[in-house]
Structure 1
Amino acid sequence: MEAIFVKSSTNSYHITVGKRVRNNLNRYLTKDYSSILIVTDENVAALYLEDIIKNFPEKPVFKSIVPAGEQSKNIETFYQLQTDAIQFGLDRESLIIALGGGVVGDLAGFAAATFMRGIDYIQIPTTVLAHDSSVGGKVAINHELGKNLIGNFYPPQAVVYDTDTLQSLNEREMRSGYAELIKEALIADKSFFDMLLQTDIYSLDSNELQTHLKLGIKIKAQIVEEDEKESGVRKHLNLGHTLGHALESELGYGSLTHGEAVAIGLLFSLHVSEQALTANVPFNALRLWLEKNRYPLDNFEYHTEQLISRMKADKKSVKSKIQMVLLKETAFPVVKELEDAEVTEYLHSFIVRMIGK
């Protein structure tokens, strides 16, 4: 078991990574809470909800179970969580527990950030992808016109990451999570990136998985501490997300997982880095790794004009200008503002490179 410490402007918190840590939650709570609301989805509830409830035999514990999938990260589900919290009698001394992947973490965290102007919450991630989303305090819901456009910066009181829960993940969830690990390696650690390129993500042992997760979390935590509100270096964590978010919203949330969309976005970012910066970046090596690990890269249509509109509506855009994170080389990211015409050209050449159209 290892604990990683994160400092934020409002509170500092520990990220605990280890086996069976979900069974000893009281040691990670900083307060004696009046009541607890566990937010999870229908898939995770069947596997781990009772384990979490057993931690609090003397507390009023309530549960809200949302449908699994990105489609739940919407205003209707958010409103239902607020209704549940009111009807269950939660108060300002209550705690929300986000038990699940990135969708549940973002949704429950945003509910905690806004209920009674903000109550405490903790993250209990159950996916590889959530190693990234559970750290740093970004909480949000989607709008049909763009991903994560409604949200806040609101750090948790703790992140308790039980790696035993990852044993239940399917191939698609593993792909989704490892895209974010690849992103973290690309922006900060070339040796970690080289390590991942030697990895078959479907035949990992538990020690390899824990090593990768801890390296990714430490990169994320260091960047978040340096730039909590994304005014500087935290923007680098958006590598691959400009096109990735646009694909998610354009194709319909859930058509691609977040990580699958980010994987395509990473390739696009490296493609643009080559074109715009004449950078020496590992496009071919990354593409080969993604293909070997069965990422969907070319089984859907790219609609250039719609994607550019989505990218301009993204929260990372400034004055309707598309901002992209690019690489001068591995572990040397930069932010570049691009004109529509440039992005159109880069998208066309990327599509030709990817699918020959």
Structure 2
Amino acid sequence: MSRDQVVEVAAERPYQVIIGHRLHDRIPGLVGEDARRAAVLHPPTMIEAAERIVHALDVSGIEPVRIDVPDGEAAKTAQVAARCWSVLGTAGFTRSDAIVGLGGGATTDLAGFVAATWLRGVRYVAVPTSLLAMVDAAVGGKTGINTPEGKNLVGAFHEPAGVLCDLDTLTSLPLPELRSGLAEVVKCGFIADPEILSLIEADPAVAPDPAGEVIAELVRRAVQVKAGVVSADLREATSVGTRIGREALNYGHTFGHAIEQHERYRWRHGEAISTGMVFVAELARHAGLIDDALAERHRSILASLQLPTSYRAGTFEALRALMAVDKKSRGTTLRFVVLHGLARPAILAGPAPELLEAAYADIC
């Protein structure tokens, strides 16, 4: 793999995802020559990286404004967003200024939402620092915050001006965080690019190595999958009946988000999505859409990465109630992204209660 690779995203305003090393010097160019100020939103763990970006902006003649936000999902609240808006207002941010989101998926979700809502939309640059954010949250223009009733229920579509995936940041991630990010990579393999699955199956132990060539190739392939899907369906407009567009990226997420809420976000996102993919694979198997081998492949690949593939019994009614307020639901009808075969995603709407209960029993 060359030092830097570029994936094009054909959005309403096309942008690039740059994958490589030591990319902070590219920030001023993405912020734009008209910008007088740029706010850098980051969690406490990213102070050193934030200082590098602040320096790059400063020497380019752009006034940097640092905004510290909480770690993880604690950042994605209306209160934190309001604090960010207050800082922008006090600093006199105009429509020609920009927001930089530096951190994991929660930070980039929040930063994108702040950019989407300030003056009805200002320029935004995503600098994801976790594997999960690189392959999922930072690409595609979906921004949002959580409410007590659910995850990402308040948000907006707001495409970034560019995404910088600096692979050097992965070396500081704990191994469980890398494994969590790989769940979203595996998802891309099942819905669109089976070569991802083959790369992991060849040697699951090297997949989480942040300095290895395999993880670099997995990031590129996963970003390419997401770029292709969102380019074809910018605002989740094409999922009708069993036809599917951008919603394919939510494979495993309906059940996974319910687990996250039920666990009060004590589970990592990728851990919940891993279990959610096994659940929906079993649901598709019981519905006669996939065979036993493909359902079992979900378990074997995810287990080989030491990701969870089961959940405790006795929680189904609570999880079903949480799934009912999922963004993909329509009225009282539950809708799941399923497979009709490898790399053939589709929507299963209103599955019979006995199918849901059978799939749940299989993962307990």
Q: Is the 8 A contact 1:302 1:351 kept in 2?
A: no
* Partner residue in 2 for 1:150: 154
Deviations 1:336-356 (A, max 9, x none): 1024xx2x434433343233x
* Partner residue in 2 for 1:51: 52
Q: Is the 8 A contact 1:39 1:97 kept in 2?
A: yes
Classify 1:212/1:202 alpha carbon distance in 2 versus 1 (closer, same or farther; 3 Å).
closer
Q: Distance in 2 between matches of 1:316 and 1:330?
A: 22
Q: Distance in 2 between matches of 1:213 and 1:224?
A: 16
Q: How far did residue 249 of structure 1 move?
A: 1.4
Alignment of 1:249-328 (within 5 A): 249-253=261-265, 255-280=266-291, 282-298=294-310, 300=312, 303-328=315-340
* Partner residue in 1 for 2:187: 183
**Range that drifts further, 297-306 or 36-45:** 297-306
Report the 3-state secondary structure (helix = DSSP H, G, I; strand = E; otherwise coil) of the residue aligned with 1:182.
helix
* Partner residue in 1 for 2:26: 24
Pair 1:193-2:204 in alignment: no
1:89 aligned to which of 92, 103, 108: 92
1:210 aligned to which of 201, 212, 216: 216
2:43 aligned to which of 41, 44, 62: 41
Alignment of 1:92-241 (within 5 A): 92-131=95-134, 132-198=136-202, 199-200=204-205, 201-203=207-209, 205-232=211-238, 233-241=245-253
Report the 3-state secondary structure (helix = DSSP H, G, I; strand = E; otherwise coil) of the residue aligned with 1:324.
strand
* Partner residue in 1 for 2:363: 354
Classify 1:17/1:274 alpha carbon distance in 2 versus 1 (closer, same or farther; 3 Å).
same
* Partner residue in 1 for 2:6: 3
Q: Distance in 1 between matches of 2:147 and 2:201?
A: 35
Q: Is the 8 A contact 2:180 2:270 kept in 1?
A: yes
- Aligned amino acid, residue 279 of structure 1: I
Q: Distance in 2 between matches of 1:285 and 1:66?
A: 39
Which TM-score applies when normalising by structure 1? 0.93
**Range that drifts further, 270-279 or 104-113:** 270-279
Q: Is the 8 A contact 1:304 1:347 kept in 2?
A: no
State, as a whole percentage, how many aligned pairs show the same letter: 30
Report the 3-state secondary structure (helix = DSSP H, G, I; strand = E; otherwise coil) of the residue aligned with 1:64.
strand
Q: Which 5+ residue runs of structure 1 have no aligned equivalent?
A: none
Classify 1:164/1:15 alpha carbon distance in 2 versus 1 (closer, same or farther; 3 Å).
same
Q: Distance in 2 between matches of 1:55 and 1:279?
A: 51
The count of aligned residue pairs is: 349
Alignment of 1:72-83 (within 5 A): 72-83=75-86
Q: Distance in 2 between matches of 1:27 and 1:87?
A: 25
Q: Distance in 1 between matches of 2:311 and 2:259?
A: 13
Which TM-score applies when normalising by structure 2? 0.91
Deviations 1:193-227 (A, max 9, x none): 22223322344543211110000001100111100
* Partner residue in 2 for 1:243: 255
Report the 3-state secondary structure (helix = DSSP H, G, I; strand = E; otherwise coil) of the residue aligned with 2:17.
strand
Classify 1:256/1:302 alpha carbon distance in 2 versus 1 (closer, same or farther; 3 Å).
farther
Report the 3-state secondary structure (helix = DSSP H, G, I; strand = E; otherwise coil) of the residue aligned with 2:340.
strand
Q: How far did residue 301 of structure 1 move?
A: 5.4
Classify 1:171/1:302 alpha carbon distance in 2 versus 1 (closer, same or farther; 3 Å).
farther
- Aligned amino acid, residue 86 of structure 1: G
- Aligned amino acid, residue 49 of structure 2: Y
The runs of 4+ residues in structure 1 deviating greater than 6 Å are: none
Q: Distance in 2 between matches of 1:220 and 1:189?
A: 10
Report the 3-state secondary structure (helix = DSSP H, G, I; strand = E; otherwise coil) of the residue aligned with 2:287.
helix
Q: Which 5+ residue runs of structure 2 have no aligned equivalent?
A: 239-244
RMSD: 1.7
- Aligned amino acid, residue 17 of structure 1: I
Report the 3-state secondary structure (helix = DSSP H, G, I; strand = E; otherwise coil) of the residue aligned with 2:140.
coil
Q: Distance in 2 between matches of 1:193 and 1:174?
A: 16
- Aligned amino acid, residue 206 of structure 1: G
2:354 aligned to which of 336, 345, 351: 345
Q: How far did residue 303 of structure 1 move?
A: 1.4
Q: How far did residue 292 of structure 1 move?
A: 3.0
* Partner residue in 1 for 2:241: none
Q: Distance in 2 between matches of 1:109 and 1:306?
A: 31
**Range that drifts further, 221-230 or 302-311:** 302-311
Q: Distance in 2 between matches of 1:96 and 1:266?
A: 34
Q: How far did residue 298 of structure 1 move?
A: 4.2
- Aligned amino acid, residue 212 of structure 1: L
